[in-house]
Structure 1
Amino acid sequence: MADSTTPSRTDNLTIEPVASVDAIAPGDWDRLSRTGNPFLRHHFFAALEHSGCTTATTGWEPAHLLIRLDGQLHGLIPAFRKTHSMGEYVFDWGWADAYARYGVDYYPKLLMAVPFTPSQGHRLLLSPTLRDRLKPGDLNPLLDEAAVELGCHSWHLLFPNSADQRLLEAPNRLHRLGCQFHWFNRDYHSFNDFLAQLTSRKRKSIRKERRQIAEQGIAFDHYPGHALPDSVLDAFHVFYQATYLKRGQRPYLNRDFFQRLRDGQPEQLHVIMARLDERMIAGALFLHGENTLYGRYWGCLEEYDHLHFETCYYQGIELAIERGLRCFDAGAQGEHKLVRGFEPQLTHSWHWVAHPGFAEAIADFCEEEAMDVRGYRDAALEALPYRQEN
C-alpha cells in the first residue's frame, strides 16, 4: 500500500489511512461504531484480516481511514485497496472493462465497505461531535485526496444507511441505486401469524413447500454461537465451500475466519443445520444485531426440493420472530424472496473516478440505471403477496 505521510486536509479535519485493523484500538473502533451491527465490530474486521481473507494477497489490502478533528480521533471508515472487484455486490465490471479497452488503469481502487457483505449500515463511523459538524459533501473531497494518495484511480462506498447517505449527497457525485428484498416483522408471534397476512394462494404454496421438506425426512438443528461445536462448524464450512466450487470460484472465507467469528462474537452468531436421519446435509449461518437478523452464508452438497428456501428463509423468519427482531436481511438477489414475503428496498452506493471522461460517461450510466432500478422496485411492490386491506 502506498505510504501516506501527509494526511488529506480540510480545515482542521484530516484523513489518514492505516495498513491494518491492528493500528486501531478495539475500544476506539467500537466506540466510534456505536452499534450492535455485527459487521461493524473491530473483531469482525480483525477476524477477516488475521485469518488471511482480507490481505494484499487476496486483493483486499486494508487501508482503513482515520478521521481526526483538531488532531483527535473522531471517526474511521473501514476501507480496502482493491485490485479486483470480487466480493462487493455492487458490480462495476463494465466500468473496468471500458477502462481496459482504452488502455487506462482502473485498479487499484479504494473500497469503503464491509467485505463480502451486501448489507446496509453505517460506513462513516463518526463521533456525534463530528457528525453534527459535517455538512453534506464535506467529506467527499477528503476521500478524493485519500484515494489519490493511496495510488488509487477511484473510490467506492457501498451500502451506506440513511444517516451516512445524507452526508455523502453532493452535486456532481456518482450515485448508484440497487434493490434488495427484506422481510419485516409486524409484531408476529408465530410463523402462522405471518402466513395469515399473505394471500390464500401464497399461503398454501409456502405450506406445501414446508410440508414437502418434512415428507423428505429433513429436520433442523439450531446452534447459537456459544453452543456451536467444532464438528458442526467443520460441516458448515464444507457446505459453504461447495456453493463457490460449484460455480468454479474460490471461496472468499476460510475455516479459520468462521472459528474466529464464533470465538469472538458468539452472542451474535446462529447456525442452522439441515439433517436427514443422522447426517447433516446443509447449513446456513446467520448473524444478528439489535433489531435485524442477517442471513449470510449457506451451502449444501446435494439438492433437495425446497431445501434452500426452508433453511435460509423460513427457518430465518421463525428465528427473527422468536427473537423479536424487526427485520430479516437475507442478502442479495431477489425475485424468489418476493413471493415469500420479502419486500423491495432501495440500496445506495457512492463513487468517484479520477478520469474526467469516464466520470461523465459513468454519471450518465448511473442516471439511466437508477430509473430502471426504481421501476423494478415499483413493479415488485405491486407483486407483493400480502392481502390487501379493505
Structure 2
Amino acid sequence: MAGLGLGVSPCCVFVRKGMSGNEIPIRMKLRSDGEWGFGNNKRRKSASFSSGEQEMSFSLSLRDKLCVSVVSSISEVPGSQWDACAVDASGGADKFNPFLSHAFLSTLEHSASAVRETGWIPHHIVARAQPDNNILAVLPLYLKTHSYGEFVFDHSWANAYHSYGYNYYPKLQSCVPFTPVTGPRILLRNTPFRDQIFDILVSAIKDLTATSQLSSLHVTFPSENECHKLTQKGFLPRIGMQYHWKNRNYKNFDDFLMDMKQSKRKNIRQERKKISAQNLIMKRLRGYEIKARHWDSFYTFYRNTTDNKWGTPHLTREFFHELGSKMGDNVLLVVAEEGDELVAGALNLIGGDTLFGRLWGCQPRSYYPSLHFEACYYQAIEAAIELNLKTVEAGAQGEHKIQRGYLPVTTYSCHYLIDEEFREAIQDFLIREAAQVKVVMKLLQESGPFKEGVV
C-alpha cells in the first residue's frame, strides 16, 4: 500500500479564488515542534502548531477579508464571541447545546482533562473578519495521539495502518471531548457569507491535515445536515445509534407511562418502587444547590465507574468543581441519599430544548437494585417534563434503555483519509456497516415499548 508521501516546508502556500475571481495567496506558517511518526517514516519531524504561527487570509467581498488561524487554547478566544458562534450555529438560544459553550470546553482544558498531556492537543480554528476583527466562526479541533474518549470507534483502522508499517496517530479530531452529543462542529455566525465561510473552513482543515502529514481528519457527532455537506466535500460518512427519549407533551411521569405497553409500564413501576423500599431518597439539584461536597462525592462515584468499566478516568476532580461553578443552572445533578449519606449520582446538562444525561456512579462496593435506572433515566424524564424539554439524550450504547422509553436515533460522523487505498477500504467497510446499523434500528423500532400508534 502506498505511503502518504507528503513533504513539509516552513511555510506552505495555497491559492484560493476570491469572489472577484482573483487569486489570493494563503500562507500558513508551520513550526516543527515535536517528533511524530507520519506516513512511512517512523521518526520524521513534522508540523506542530502554536497560537499566532499560522494564518490564512481569504476574500469575502471587495472590502472584507476573512483571517483563519489556529489557537492552542480556547482561552485565547473571548467567551462571548465563541458562544455567539455556537448559539447561531445551533439555531438559536432555544436549541443551544451546552457542550459547545466556551464554559464547557474551557473547563475541559483548565482542569487538565483535555490537554496535551492526556493526548488532546487543542488546535481550535478561529475565523475573524477584517478589518474589524470580529469572530465569524470557530471550530473545536484537537490533535489526537489516541482514539479514547470519542465514542466513534476507529481502533481497527489504526491497527490496519500499523500492520502496513504506517502510523495512524496523531490525527485531527473535531468533537467535544468525552461527549457523544450531536451538534454542529463548524460554529458559524449568521452572516451573508455563512455558506462561503463554511466552505473556507472545510478547505482549511483538509489542507491542514494534508500539509501536516497526518493520516486523517475526523468530525464526530455533527448534525445530519453538516454531515451531508461534509460528505459532498470528500469526507466518508458513518452512522451510529443512540437512544433518546421524546416528550410528547406529557403532563407528568404517569402521563408518559400511559403511552407504554402494559408490560413495560408495570416493569417501570416495579423498578421505581424498589427505590423507596431501600430507604433511598432521590433529589435533583441545580446551580447553587450543588455544593463542593456533592462534587467530591460524585467524583468518587465517577472513579468507581471508570475503575469497573473503562479503566482510565478521563475527567479530573477539578473538572466537576469548575463545571458547577461556570455552568450554574445548566447543570442538573441527580443524587441518591441513604440517611445523611450520598450513595450515588447522575450528571446531566440542560440545553435549550434537551436534557443531556452524561455520567453515573455509585459508592464503591455498594449495590442498589434499579438505582441506575432511576437516577439516569426516570429522574431525567421527570425533569424534562417539568422543564418542558423536548428530548432526553441518555448517552451512548445501552439497549436496556429501549424498554424504559428511549428509542434508537441515528448519529453521524465524517472521516477524511489522506491515503487513497486506505480510504477505499474504509469506505467499503462503512457502506456495509451502515446497512447493518439500519437493519438493527428498524428491528428495534418495530419492537419498541410504546402502544401502537404512539409516534
1:137 is displaced (CA, Å) by 6.1
Of 212-221 and 307-316, more deviation after overlay is shown by 212-221
CA distance in 2, matches of 1:98, 1:83: 16
C-alpha spacing 1:376/1:130, structure 2 compared with 1 (3 Å): farther
| Post-superposition CA distance 1:247-287 (Å, at most 9, x none) | 36121111111111111111100111112233221111111
The match for 1:65 is 125
1:383 is displaced (CA, Å) by 1.4
The match for 2:371 is 307
Whether contact under 8 Å (2:227, 2:237) holds in the other structure is: no
1:228 is displaced (CA, Å) by 0.6
Of 49, 72, 75, which aligns to 1:3?
49
Tell me the SS of whatever aligns to 1:346: strand
Q: Residue type matched to 1:47 in 2?
A: T
1:331 is displaced (CA, Å) by 0.3
Q: Residue type matched to 1:318 in 2?
A: E
Of 356, 363, 381, which aligns to 2:420?
356
Of 76, 80, 98, which aligns to 1:23?
76
| Post-superposition CA distance 1:200-246 (Å, at most 9, x none) | 11100111111122212222122112211111111111001110011
Superposition RMSD in Å: 2.0
Of 50, 70, 74, which aligns to 2:110?
50
Of 412, 425, 430, which aligns to 1:366?
430
CA distance in 2, matches of 1:125, 1:11: 19
C-alpha spacing 1:231/1:345, structure 2 compared with 1 (3 Å): same
The match for 1:195 is 257
For structure 1, which runs of at least 5 residues remain unmatched after alignment?
Answer: none
Of 173-182 and 142-151, more deviation after overlay is shown by 142-151
C-alpha spacing 1:343/1:135, structure 2 compared with 1 (3 Å): farther
Whether contact under 8 Å (1:183, 1:343) holds in the other structure is: yes
C-alpha spacing 1:28/1:185, structure 2 compared with 1 (3 Å): same
Tell me the SS of whatever aligns to 1:386: coil
1:271-282 equivalent positions in 2, closer than 5 A: 271-282=333-344
Q: Which structure has more RCO (C-alpha within 8 Å, separation ≥ 6)? A: 1
For structure 2, which runs of at least 5 residues remain unmatched after alignment?
Answer: 1-32, 34-47, 61-65, 88-92
The match for 1:143 is 205
Residue 161 in structure 1 maps to residue 207 in structure 2: no
1:6 is displaced (CA, Å) by 4.6
CA distance in 1, matches of 2:158, 2:304: 28
Residue 231 in structure 1 maps to residue 293 in structure 2: yes
Whether contact under 8 Å (1:225, 1:271) holds in the other structure is: no
| Post-superposition CA distance 1:9-51 (Å, at most 9, x none) | 7765554221111111112111111143211111111111111
Tell me the SS of whatever aligns to 1:128: coil
C-alpha spacing 1:226/1:148, structure 2 compared with 1 (3 Å): farther
Tell me the SS of whatever aligns to 1:134: helix
CA distance in 1, matches of 2:361, 2:200: 43
Q: Residue type matched to 1:367 in 2?
A: I
1:97 is displaced (CA, Å) by 0.6
Residue 296 in structure 1 maps to residue 358 in structure 2: yes
Residue 37 in structure 1 maps to residue 101 in structure 2: no
CA distance in 1, matches of 2:105, 2:198: 28
CA distance in 2, matches of 1:318, 1:53: 31
Of 238, 248, 260, which aligns to 1:186?
248
Whether contact under 8 Å (1:81, 1:111) holds in the other structure is: yes
How many positions carry a matched residue from both structures?
A: 390
Of 334, 345, 351, which aligns to 2:398?
334
CA distance in 2, matches of 1:131, 1:182: 34
Tell me the SS of whatever aligns to 1:106: coil
CA distance in 2, matches of 1:389, 1:295: 27
Whether contact under 8 Å (1:179, 1:344) holds in the other structure is: yes
Q: Residue type matched to 2:110 in 1?
A: H
CA distance in 2, matches of 1:347, 1:8: 32
Tell me the SS of whatever aligns to 2:409: strand
Whether contact under 8 Å (2:69, 2:126) holds in the other structure is: yes
1:68 is displaced (CA, Å) by 4.2
Identity of aligned residues (%): 38
Residue 126 in structure 1 maps to residue 188 in structure 2: yes
| Post-superposition CA distance 1:149-193 (Å, at most 9, x none) | 455321100111234234323164311000101001111111000
Whether contact under 8 Å (1:29, 1:41) holds in the other structure is: yes
CA distance in 2, matches of 1:351, 1:276: 47
Whether contact under 8 Å (2:188, 2:198) holds in the other structure is: no
TM-score after normalising by structure 1 = 0.94
Whether contact under 8 Å (2:123, 2:142) holds in the other structure is: yes
1:134 is displaced (CA, Å) by 3.4
Q: Residue type matched to 1:43 in 2?
A: A
C-alpha spacing 1:262/1:151, structure 2 compared with 1 (3 Å): farther
- Based on CA coordinates, which of the two structures has the bigger radius of gyration? 2
C-alpha spacing 1:202/1:113, structure 2 compared with 1 (3 Å): same
Of 374-383 and 176-185, more deviation after overlay is shown by 374-383
1:304 is displaced (CA, Å) by 1.6
Whether contact under 8 Å (2:54, 2:70) holds in the other structure is: no
Q: Residue type matched to 1:155 in 2?
A: L
C-alpha spacing 1:315/1:85, structure 2 compared with 1 (3 Å): same
C-alpha spacing 1:22/1:132, structure 2 compared with 1 (3 Å): closer
The match for 1:205 is 267
Of 333, 339, 346, which aligns to 2:410?
346
CA distance in 2, matches of 1:165, 1:335: 25
CA distance in 2, matches of 1:293, 1:24: 27
Of 91-100 and 154-163, more deviation after overlay is shown by 154-163
Whether contact under 8 Å (1:136, 1:167) holds in the other structure is: no
CA distance in 2, matches of 1:69, 1:174: 30
